[in-house]
Structure 1
Amino acid sequence: MATAIPMIELWRGGMLESEHLGHAVIYGPGGIEMAWGDPDAVIFPRSSVKMIQALPLIESGAAQAAGLTDRQLALACASHSGAALHRDGVAQWLHALGMGEADLRCGAHMPRDREERRRLTCSDEAPCQIHNNCSGKHAGFLTLNRHLGGGPEYVDMSHPVQQAVKSAFEDVTQEASPGFGIDGCSAPNFATSITGLARAMQFFAAASPAGSRREAAAARLARAMAQFPEMVAGEGRACTELMHAMGGRVAVKTGAEAVFVAILPEQKRGIALKIMDGGTRASEAAVTALLIRLGALERNHPVVDRLLTGTQRNWRGIATGELRLAPGFG
């Protein structure tokens, strides 16, 4: 078994200060095209698989019955910042279902969005579950659950919602999941290999709207993410900025603990990577490098400078160092 390889380095004062090791796979129509580290490494993909978790929402007919728009489907795939557009989007979605915040099972946390955080702080209003970055995914779960007629605890592994997610997950990864962990939002998160995750993203990339029910669902979700990147993350976030930079041609999604995936429909390729120390700066830099390598992202786009090639500065604006690609990667 191969080990994780150096991918991203931090240099300061002419010396290598930190090194981020990881695994990555580029998967094309014929299989693995490029791999770094161990393509068979098993990981928890965390929120990078929200588009997989949303497949049953469309396949079941629940999305159509609820009249969901592509903008809402992007929100179902989101790790959003809890900004007003996300908060209102989830609240309106739940209201249309005849449900409310109490029906969610994701838990509450302070939103990442600066304006919404300030609003809550200044009003002494506590954050609610709608502010949870996964509340869009959970609104999707509730929509599916209403269609299936399941009980209220839709995050339980034995629940029909999660059984449908597991079936879809194993189908598109083409692997039996060796197990699951509980995600930050309380839903099961199924383990898979880096290759399985990249293979799933390639399925989304190659999916035809005129294909099977699963293909049509995958194509719609990938399109929704790329068309509404502001719903998938938010202002200043890597997912949103990268998708804007690529003009709606590519869908990308991060996951906790430094997982990142990309769906490239024009190339029918999928990317999956994991930085083993959980460093977000490294996963953002690594996926940026791979998107450049595949010609999906212009090397001179400003987002590249922010995520990969830009100078590191301290609080006074003094240059302190720089991120670099490790030799042999990117």
Structure 2
Amino acid sequence: MTEPVAMAELWRGGMLESVHAGHAVICGPGGQIVQAWGDPTAVIFPRSSCKMLQALPLVESGAAEAFGLTEAQLALACASHSGSSQHVRMVERWLADLGTDHHALRCGSHMPGDTAERDRLIRAEEEPCPLHNNCSGKHAGFLTLNHHLGGDSEYVEIDHPVQRAVKAVFEDVTEETSTGVGIDGCSAPNFTTSVQGLARAMAFFAEAREGGNARERAAHQLTRAMAAHPDLIAGEGRADTELMRAMDGVAMKVGAEAVYVAILPEQRLGVALKITDGSVRAAEAAIARLLVKLGVLDYEHPATRKRLDTVQTNWRGLETGVFRTSAGFGA
């Protein structure tokens, strides 16, 4: 097995202070590896980076069309949103159109990442509800598919028709039999795959066109929806939203524990990476470096420089070091 390679590092006082290593794969047409760092066969939990795969049965089955879902709702089904008032209202309306409310969601509740909505809840002495969960859009998609399939209310159970459909699609598109399953933060199953399998799946999305078969059309719709609505995929100030705004037609998605994917339709490329120590700042720097390398992200764009080769300062504004990608990575 190939060891993970250094991808990002922090320098202070001329000394290397921290190193973050990982695995990364770029796949092209047909899922072939174009370039790789570390071990392409490393098995990982993709976490939320695979939400477009989890949403694929929603569109491919005809459920999205049957329920008249909009492009914005398809984007929200792929999101790890910040729980802003915009996100909450959209999921709430979606559930109302299904004839239900947040009590049907099985994702649990947490305080929103969005500062304004969090402050509103605190001032009003209100508790967050499942609508604030960053995965509530994905779960609204699960509920929509569940209505279409006629399953029972416990749609996150591993043997439920919704999750069986998700697993079947996941294995088909990664072209791998998943060797394990974990429970994600939102209570949905998360199936393992290799970094190569995840990149291969992203390449499938990148190649998918409107004139293809049902699955290809569904993948094309989801990619287009993500790229068109970066504000729904994450939120203000977050990497997914800011970096997608800086590009044209590229979709990207973070996953917990430092997983990142990107879909490049014009280049017909898919990217996947995993930082082994779970450092999200390292994953953001690494994906930015690869997107710059592939010519879809401007190195000098403020959203890029916020995450790539960043000068570190202390509370007095003094420069203390630099956080940068490692020499040789992304070359």
Structure-2 residue corresponding to 1:161: 162
The yes-or-no answer on 1:309 pairing with 2:290 is: no
In 2, Cα distance between the equivalents of 1:36 and 1:70?
Answer: 35
CA deviation digits over 1:92-113, x for unaligned, max 9?
0000100101000000000000
Alignment of 1:99 onto 2:82: no
Aligned to 1:265: 265
- Is 2:137 the partner of 1:136? yes
Instruction: Give the structure 2 partner of residue 321 of structure 1.
Output: 321
Using the size of structure 2 for normalisation, the TM-score is 0.98
Q: Could you tell me how far 1:300 is from its partner in structure 2?
A: 1.1
2:287 aligns with 287
- How far apart are the structure 2 equivalents of 1:93 and 1:314? 44
Aligned partner of 2:14 in structure 1 is 14
1:173 equivalenced with 2:174 (yes/no): yes
Contact 2:310 2:324 in 1 (8 A): no
**Structure 1 CA distance, aligned partners of 2:279 and 2:325?**
15
Amino acid at match of 2:294: L
8 Å CA contact retained: 2:171, 2:178: yes
Q: Is there any run of 5+ residues in structure 1 with no aligned partner, and where?
A: none
Please list, as runs of the form range in 1=range in 2, the aligned pairs for 1:151-230 lying within 5 A after superposition. Answer: 151-230=152-231
Q: Which amino acid counterpart does residue 317 of structure 1 have in structure 2?
A: G
Task: Give the corresponding residue for 2:110.
Answer: 109
> Within 5 A, what are the aligned runs for 1:37-76?
37-76=38-77
- Compare 301-310 and 253-262 and name the one that shifted more: 301-310
> After TM superposition, which residue ranges in structure 1, 4 or more long, deviate above 6 angstroms?
none
Residue 315 of structure 1, CA deviation: 2.7
Unaligned runs of 5+ in 2: none
1:250-288 deviation per Cα after TM superposition (whole angstroms, max 9, x unaligned): 000000000000000000000000000000000000000
Deviation readout 1:36-60 (Å, 9 max, x if unpaired): 0000000000000000000010111
Distance in 2, matches of 1:59 and 1:316, equals 54
- How far apart, in 2, do the equivalents of 1:69 and 1:173 lie? 27
Counterpart Cα distance in 1 of 2:145 and 2:321: 48
The reply on whether 1:298 has 2:298 as its aligned counterpart is yes
| Aligned equivalents of 1:287, 1:49: Cα separation in 2 | 15
2:64 & 2:247 partners in 1: Cα distance? Answer: 27
CA RMSD of aligned residues (A): 0.7
How far off is 1:318 after superposition? Answer: 2.2
The 8 Å contact of residues 59 and 218 in structure 2, kept in 1 or not, is answered as yes
Once the two structures are superposed, residues 17-43 of structure 1 have per-residue CA deviations (whole angstroms, 9 ceiling, x without a partner) of 000000000001151010000000000
TM-score normalised by L of structure 1: 0.99
Instruction: Report if aligned partners of 2:157, 2:188 keep a CA contact under 8 Å in 1.
Output: yes
**Aligned residue identity for 2:164:** Q
Question: Matched residues in 1 for 2:316 and 2:181: separation?
Answer: 44
Structure 2 partner of 1:2: 2
What SS does the corresponding residue of 1:52 show, helix, strand or coil?
Answer: helix
In 1, the alpha carbon distance for the partners of 2:174 and 2:316 equals: 46
Per-residue CA deviations over 1:166-209 (Å, capped at 9, x if unaligned) read: 00000110000001100000000000000000000000000011
Count of aligned pairs: 329
Q: Deviations over 1:115-166 (max 9, x none)?
A: 0000001110000000000000000000000000000000000000000000
CA-CA distance at 1:316 after TM superposition: 2.9
CA separation in 1, counterparts of 2:198 and 2:90? 29
For 2:325, give the aligned amino acid: L
| One-letter amino acid of the counterpart of residue 55, structure 1 | L
> How far apart are the structure 1 equivalents of 2:220 and 2:186?
26
- Post-superposition CA distance 1:232-251 (Å, at most 9, x none): 0000000000100003x200
AA paired with 2:172?
Answer: D
Letter of the structure 2 residue corresponding to residue 167 of structure 1: A
More deviation, 4-13/303-312? 303-312
Letter in 1 for 2:263: I
> Secondary structure, in 3 states, of the residue corresponding to 1:272?
strand
What does the per-residue CA deviation read over 1:300-322, in whole Å, with 9 as the maximum and x for residues that have no partner? 11111101122112233222211
Q: Percent identity?
A: 64
Between the aligned partners of 1:313 and 1:187, the Cα distance in structure 2 is 39
Q: CA deviation at 1:65?
A: 1.0
Q: Which one-letter code corresponds to 1:181 in the other structure? A: G
| Structure 2: distance between partners of 1:155 and 1:280 | 26
2:27 and 2:200 in contact (8 A); partners too: yes
